[in-house]
Structure 1
Amino acid sequence: MSDPYENTPERTFAALPPASGRGFAQSWWGQAWLKSLEDAALDSEQLRTGRRLARAGAVGAVSVRPGRVTAVVQGSDRTAHRADVLLQELSGEQWDRFLGMAAERVGHIAALLDREMPPHLVEDAASAGVELLPGLGDLEAECDCDAWDHCGHTAALCYQVARLLDQDPFVLLLLRGRGERGLLDELQTRSVPRAETVEVRQNTYEGVDAAEAYAAGEILPPLPEVPAVPAEPGLSPSLDTEAAPAPGIDPAALEFLAAQAAREAHRLLADALRPGHEQRAVEAELTPGQDAVRLACGAPGASVAVRLAEGSGRDREGLALAVRSWEYGGAPALDVLESDRPVEAETLARARAALESAWEGDERPVLRASGNRWSVAGGQTQLRLGADGRWWPYRKVRGRWAPVGPASQDPATALALAEGQE
């Protein structure tokens, strides 16, 4: 019997437009690809050159086949170079373990069909001894410019591949040795015998193992249709009665809390019923001050707003800034607004490296550092480094620093947002 993967097809992707003003990878698996490149590169100057070439649209059509990705890259001197990046293919035994694992979990197949690579798929594969994503030193480089390590041309190709991976994780699976069509056909073939076995047992009135019954979800009756999410949250009860409230009871505050509870319930329901929804990790417990800011995002009345400001330890203007921060990024954004902590040496080194590589030398703004804050010299804009390594754009508004957008992994993107260029 012939190997269905013997003639795995090659895929060619047209040249992508310039990536100015945006990061190269938005998905976590695209970022993991770039981390493998950036952690192993011996020359940070080549990485900067690669980013600049990729941003400028110097990478031509990209050809992807098992173990190799290829493109022609226009260098800074206008000379065209053939660049190749190599990634070791998985062995037949590794593919067998991966396919066996994926066939047992219907959710993994559904995620791939949705062009998603959820972390638990990669974790389950690793548990089966299969590393899908490249690790340190796994991306090897070949270029006709005769560089012995990654050069600007192969780095540019890697940055472009990260954009392709964002769109389609099957690009990574093809690099590892298997094409999309053959891979899905094999998964379907492996899933059928299990379903048939369960069906036979049911027809002969034998007991069915719970794990097999769960895995054979395709033979179960369809689930009922997902109910429609109400357009608006439910109305909270009114406490406007003729009876005087008991001592210490603030009816306006209670009505506001009830309305906020209804809105939060509506949001959670909408999230849960959204197609492709995955359960989010439980957020850390909020402090009373953080919770007061969260509640203040619900546009409370004047009297409630005063109480929330007092409870959060802020004045009205300070609460407005805190609400603005919370709307951009929750508790992490609030922490960035209020903290001016010193940066540890290792974190500071990474931050400076990111700032150095974000701009070409003649384009880099003059930044003055104070703690986790970098202010543009002579300007009204600022970058703030969050505890998670992301950069937050700030601008001086009426004499106070205020956030003006969400965080970004790329300091150049964050500063462009702070300066109103995006």
Structure 2
Amino acid sequence: MPRGARGAAPRHDDRRRSFPQVAPREAPDGRFAATWWGNAWVEALEDTALDVARLARGRAYAGRGHVDAITVTPGRVVAYVHGSRPRPYRTEIRMRTLGDDGWERFLDEATARPDHIAALLDKDVPHALGAVTGLLPAPGDLVPDCSCPDDGYPCKHAAALCYQAARLLDEDPFVLFLMRGRGEQELLAELTRRNAALSAAETTAAAPPMPTVPARAVFAATERAGLPLPPPLPLPDRPGRPAVFPPDPDAPDPLALDLLASEAAARAHAFLATGHDPVAALSPWQDAVRLAAAHPGSGLTATTRALYRDLAYALDRTPTDLARAVAAWRQGGAAGLAVLEEPWDPPAGPFDRARPALLAADFPAFRPWRNRLSTESLQLRLGRDGLWYGYESDAGREDWWPRGTPDHDPVGALTDLLGR
């Protein structure tokens, strides 16, 4: 159905991004962040902390999920952090934004080298690019503030927010750019414009093009001579990168075109390599969920929100429906999505043995219904593949979301869900 038939989609705010609770993940070397820029963010606060013990408690708070949804705007990171009292504390970290001169230096450096732009599109920040304008925070750049009575610098709640913010930076460096004052789409549009202008200038200055021969004429001459066609080119190691699409107010979204072109290249590469299209058997809804789940990054960035909105709109679903389905797909692929959407009656056997096993492991009693075992806030679902899938909901609400890693053992699935 044409988009105009149902009204214009709401516009998003490129300079305000909100992220749900982020699961911590330590790097193999024991540091909280996995990327060099994420660790630079943490070190900027740790280097000026006055109490190492508060930092340790903040790190533990972050690891136990005490930090609620995080909102990022230019110069500010805000979240509610749960402490020892029932009411969470409003916590924020402030930092200065870059001025126009600083952004000019950053954009000039980024467009001077094609590999810098490619790295940014892959959610990577080259060291040379990160250091060119003071983009990364230095000791003293981060100013914590919290509504708690603790006057530590930082308090454990601000430290917890800082650690969790580093996890966001790991997933998407454009969060750092937003902290410094520029939104993702604003930056991508400017990078695209400058890159197109640079390419046009280089083309103009290049040598005149070589003469060409129509392929039809060469093919006809080859047929007349009875010569065999040359063998096909070898399959490349990975799909090619799509072209850069300059912004045009009358054209489709360039980021959506980039996503579709990348998807087409990946499917073509898989078909050439295996002779099988892995997507052909999926329904439109399954394909939409798979496409959204493959989008880089785990947070709901501006680009992700637009993608979810458009895909959900095309299939008469809500963005929340799609976000829940994406969580199920990332949990277990097509089988995980079926567990989310298709209750069924399992035969006697593993399902009947699950509740006694959970009670023996000192877990609370679960209520059975079809293929599901539930408490007020926890749920295990048995899939047709024999795996147990974990779900969580706020107590008293039937708002179940996939969490954790599927396991053949219900005790193992619940242990992973609770992070024991």
Answer whether TM exceeds 0.5 for this pair: no
Q: What is the TM-score normalised by the length of structure 2?
A: 0.45
Q: What is the TM-score normalised by the length of structure 1?
A: 0.44
